[in-house]
Chains A and B, each alone.
Chain A
Amino acid sequence: MEWTTIESDPGVFTELIQEMGVKGVQVEELYSLDEGSLRAMAPVYGLIFLFKYRSGEAPSAPVETDASSSGVFFASQVITNACATQAILSILMNCPASVQLGEELGNMKAFTAEFDADLKGLAISNSETIRKAHNSFARPEPIMEEQRDQAPSDDVFHFIAYMPVNGRLYELDGLKRGPIAHGECTDDDWLGKVCPVIQSRIEQYASSEIRFNLMALIKSPKQALEERLAKIEARKERCAKVAAGAAVDAGMDVDGGDDLDGPLPSGQDAVAAELARLEGEAAVAREGIEREAQKAQRWRDENIRRKHNYIPFIFNFLKVLAEKKKLEPLIAKARGQ
């Protein structure tokens, strides 16, 4: 049962996660490693650092060999070609309960809870659902599998996940014996603490020309924005009621910490101003939702193209060119004339 290599692309990973049954999680690529950029994407469930693999590096901090004692779900990586999927799963399986894993992953997590790292890894590699989702991103190949050489662009990349679990910052690398703890953290300050950890890893490779990328698993912005828009609309409604002279349920005036919670202002002018402010916020939210929808459509189109075999298209195009007597100049070009 084969696992094929797949492209390392946030659009691919996002759809992969959805195909495994998870809801409301998105993958975004990061172009700079600073707390500000990370916070802009919050809530961030975990980070994935990918780089060209070097065998047998010494772990940077003590490796915990008994992952379950610290409450960390840790699976050994069994399949070489499934690096990325493995790293994504290591984050998903350690996410807070608010993340909807879906039936397959939820069952897998419960079923393997008492297994050691190797057995967890094997269970994952045996999952038909996960393997099918992964392999669905295999690129159509025009040649026989047995004859295939290593294609020119195949790189050996390795993926490592970083995330907070139960108050500690962990490095999850399926090729190591267990999770590596990098000290204590909270759900709030881990983004600041993880930057220097990843930075020092980048510096290890500074002298050799090693390519690396950084991706974040975040709450789907579209979902977050839709929730926000709903809250804005609700508050607008209440403002409108106040403006019309009606009484407002006092129980709703709770300070929840963001700009949509808290008591409504009193006085007609203040309420009118608040309504105007909320209109502005609603417009911003709608713009954001529209932007995310366009991005999702773009990613969808890219994935459709990735999975589609264009060989019949190419061949038939060439035949059409021949029929229209347009192929000769191309043949000449191909002969370097």
Chain B
Amino acid sequence: MSFDFFNQNAVQPGGGPELGPNGEEILIDVQCGRINVEGKTMKPDDRKGKLRICKATDGLTHLMWGTRAEGMPYNPEDDFIIFPQEAEMKFIPKPGCFVIKFPDDASRNMFFWSQEPAGKIEDDKLVADVNAALNGESPESANEQAQLMQMLGDAGGAGLAARDPSGGPVAARAQAVRAAHEAANSALSSGADETPAVNANAVPETPAAPAKGPDPSAGTAVPPSVVNAEALRAALGSVGATPSSTPGAGAIDAAAMAAALAGANRRAAGPGLSDVLTPDAVGELLRSEDVRQRLMEHLPEEHRSTQDLEELLRTPQFQSQLERFSHALQSGQMDLAQFGLSPGAGFSVADFLSAIQKQVEEKEGGDAMQE
């Protein structure tokens, strides 16, 4: 899978997975540089480097990054063990940049800027291949598996969906990647015209203009592109650089970037519903016969005549739904239209309760006027 022209690694006779210096199976190599997050800003590291995801002989998946240089062995500076479904790769809004994201621990997020020649590998394929590798699978076998399952019909959809740790359709994420990329014009490709063609027979000429669509020769060894550091600085707008003439460039606010990445992971402040609807606060009301009559139709049929409402509040199943309700609400993922509420000022529980209060008052006002 590696396109590194200066590859020092062993290739097994007769084919098979590519092995690294310690016998590890190389799942994928991606040429890229680091971006370091310092406080609120992101500072790119100019050095040429390579991200490697490999499977060690003990079976654990490793994520490494290190510099690459002609004639030198690859010596990673960073080496992390990654468990399946622990991390995910995504492109971020800045052109050519991506993150290895850890949903369970944002402090582990790692940012990179791509040093792969433009158009060499389609973004969607890169995301899919890196994510397969992060789960300990070689991209080829992940592809084969997908094909096998498609052949057998229904299972194909289930398998692909199942590999998506968030449980949602893979299609939605691929779409997000496409959208992010459409918005960008790769700053790195502007440096492509400086790349020398090493061997005109074996290697395609790197186009001067940014390539559109997949490179049909992907899979052939391509020499590493010379990175246009100027273009990179312009794109990322690191602190301390001379003011760039590229419109729109400026210091990136890492917090804003993280927020954009996290998207729905951002949570509104304040207590959850189960903190507000405590047995102390609402127990008496739940015991009232009048309230019970009003709410009976919303209970499961089998429980309508028997369920004690105060007891219901204390059950793990109800508490779990309250929690998920709060999570959906506070992360902005709740469909408020189902309650006849329009998306309001905020997503906190207090905002939600206020919106309901208002809705009831308006209705009562309306009723009063009709009398």
Q: Does B303 lie within 8 Å of A78, measured CB to CB? A: no
In the bound complex, what is the Cα–Cα distance between A313 and B339 (angstroms)? Answer: 12
Which residues of the partner chain B approach A316 to less than 8 Å between Cβ atoms? 294-295, 298
B residues 243-289 near A (Cβ < 8 Å) are 263-265, 270-271, 273, 276-277, 281-282, 285
Determine the chain B residues whose CB is within 8 A of the CB of A141 once the complex forms. Answer: 324, 328
Q: Are A305's CB and B318's CB within 8 A?
A: yes
Distance of A301 Cα from B299 Cα, bound (Å): 12
How does the 8 Å CB contact mask read for B155-168 relative to A, with 1 for contact and 0 for none?
10111011101111
Which chain B residues lie closer than 8 Å to A258 at the CB level?
none
**How far, in Å, is A137 (CB) from chain B's closest CB?**
11
B9 contacts partner chain A, Cβ-Cβ < 8 Å = no
Q: Which residue of A lies closest to B364 (CB)?
A: A323
B353: Cβ under 8 A from any A Cβ: yes
| Other-chain residue from A56, A131, A143, A321 in contact with B334 (beta carbon distance below 8 A) | A143
Q: How many residues of B contact A (CB 8 A)?
A: 78
A55 at the interface (CB under 8 A from B): yes
B154: Cβ under 8 A from any A Cβ: yes
CA distance A3 to B155 in the complex (A): 10
A149 in contact (CB, < 8 A)? yes
When A and B form their complex, what is the total count of cross-chain residue pairs whose Cβ atoms lie within 8 Å? 204
- When distances are taken between beta carbons in the complex, the residues of chain A under 8 Å from B60 are 54-56
Given contacts A146-B168, A146-B169, contact A305 B317 (CB under 8 A): yes
Q: Taking the complex as formed, is A203 at the interface, i.e. its CB lies under 8 A from any CB of chain B?
A: no
Residue of A nearest to B169 (CB): A146
Asked whether, in the complex, the Cβ of A125 is within 8 Å of the Cβ of B158, the reply is yes
Q: Do A149 and B103 touch (CB < 8 A)?
A: yes
In the bound complex, CA of A305 to CA of B318 (Å): 7
Cβ 8 A contact of B294, one of A125, A126, A320: A320
Cβ-defined contact, A327 with B333, below 8 A: no
User: Is B169 a contact of A145 with CB atoms below 8 Å?
Assistant: yes
Question: A122 near B356 (CB under 8 angstroms)?
Answer: no
In the bound complex, CA of A285 to CA of B324 (Å): 42
In the complex, whether A32 has a CB less than 8 A from a CB of chain B is no
Q: Which of A104-112, A232-240, A270-278, A329-337 contacts B (4 or more CB under 8 A)?
A: A329-337
Residues of chain A within 8 A (CB-CB) of B172 are 146
| Cross-chain contact A126 with B103 (CB below 8 angstroms) | no
Q: Within the complex, which residue of A55, A126, A333, A336 is in contact with B155, where a contact is CB–CB below 8 Å?
A: A126
A125-B154, A317-B295 known, 8 other contacts, Cβ within 8 Å: A1-B157, A55-B61, A56-B58, A56-B61, A149-B333, A310-B322, A311-B321, A336-B270
CB-CB nearest 7 A-B residue pairs: A56-B59, A334-B350, A305-B317, A313-B298, A322-B360, A143-B333, A55-B136
B residues near A (Cβ < 8 Å) are 55, 58-61, 83-85, 103, 135-136, 148-149, 152-155, 157-159, 161-163, 165-169, 172, 263-265, 270-271, 273, 276-277, 281-282, 285, 291, 294-295, 298-300, 302-303, 312, 315-318, 320-322, 324-325, 327-329, 331, 333-335, 338-339, 348-350, 353-354, 356-357, 359-361, 364
